[in-house]
Amino acid sequence: MRRLVVLLVVVVLVATVGCANMTPRQQRALSGGAAGAAGGAALGAITGGSPGVGAAVGGAAGATTGYFWDRLFGP
């Protein structure tokens, strides 16, 4: 349990520091990719498919949508 907590703290720290110098577009792409990967993995597991394939497809779709968000839904 202690190893899991330490790993989680390290991941959060790296993610926080790593996003400091990113543009808003890059931040949206990263968060879209993470949300898409999580959703795709969950959908893959629920439907009986492969969670890994679902995460890859969802992550790619989320990152692409996050990157082009301003062009798709901007003013």
How many angstroms separate the CA atoms of 63 and 52, rounded? 16
Reported confidence tier of residue 75, pLDDT bands at 50, 70, 90? low
Q: What is the pTM of this model?
A: 0.68
Question: pLDDT digit string (tens) for 37-63?
Answer: 889 988 888 888 888 899 899 999 999
pLDDT recorded at residue 1: 64
pLDDT recorded at residue 60: 92
pLDDT recorded at residue 23: 86
Which of these, 29, 30, 28, lies nearest to 15 by C-alpha position?
30
